[in-house]
Amino acid sequence: MNSSNKLSMSQWAEEDKPREKLISKGVEQLSTVELIALLLGSGSREESVIDLARNLMKYCSNDLSQLSKWNEAEFLNFKGIGIAKYATLKAALELGKRRQMQDTKERNTYQYSSDIYRLFHPILRDATHEEFWILLLNQACRIIKYTQISTGGIDGTYADVRLILREAILNRATQLVLIHNHPSGNTQPSVNDKQLTQRIKEASKIMNILLVEHLIITDGSYYSFADHGLI
């Protein structure tokens, strides 16, 4: 688009000036639409930046989690969004995710399924394919390390039992947690999920490592094998 067709911030209408509102009233007073408009920076003569931000939120059902899952093509479908603005929005959404993860990490003792869910929900909620992770704990249930073991398709992933045990042994973990996501939103474990859990439980026991939990995470909910008496 020709730069002459773009509106600078100084040319915005009064209602299209989130930067001035932020400075005069504080960032907390800005709506989600206004925050996105501020990131977008400029609109076109045909559409103000506020209108563009409204359209973005409309098409993601006012759900920032859904917006985070959009790919490049979905953003570029909107007139007024190019590569630079796409990159700015993705960076801001990623920073929000990392902030949540950092806040969660400060609590590094994990005893309940809800603790584990709070740690991994920011990591897995936007994933469009299955990922398999492990969380390694010491005897006092303090975190040693968490790492991704494998990643797969929309409806499944593969977890190598030997790789899982190797990570646990190398990091001197005495307790082990399994975590994977279901992009479909269905929290219920599959037959394969149950069989894999039992294989890892039996193999870990031989190495004197206790499998304490397997969590299936979706965007907004989870299933705990321990809470359901399956471990």
Q: Are residues 113 and 218 in the same domain?
A: yes
Q: Are residues 118 and 219 in the same domain?
A: yes
CATH number at 186 reads 3.40.140.10
Q: Choose the final residue of a domain: 75, 102, 129.
A: 102
- Residue 16 belongs to what domain range? 3-102
Q: Using a cut of 0.85, tell me whether the model's pTM lies above it.
A: no
Q: What is the pLDDT along the chain (231 residues), one digit of tens a residue?
A: 444 455 454 544 445 577 888 888 888 888 999 999 989 886 554 468 888 999 999 988 888 878 888 889 999 999 889 999 999 998 998 888 777 666 555 556 777 899 899 899 988 988 888 999 999 999 988 899 999 999 876 556 678 999 999 999 999 999 999 999 999 899 999 999 999 999 999 999 999 999 999 999 998 899 999 999 998
Same domain, 90 and 154: no
135 in the same domain as 67: no
* 18 and 88 both lie in a single domain: yes
Q: How many domains does the chain have?
A: 2
- CA dist., res. 183 & res. 115, Å (int): 21
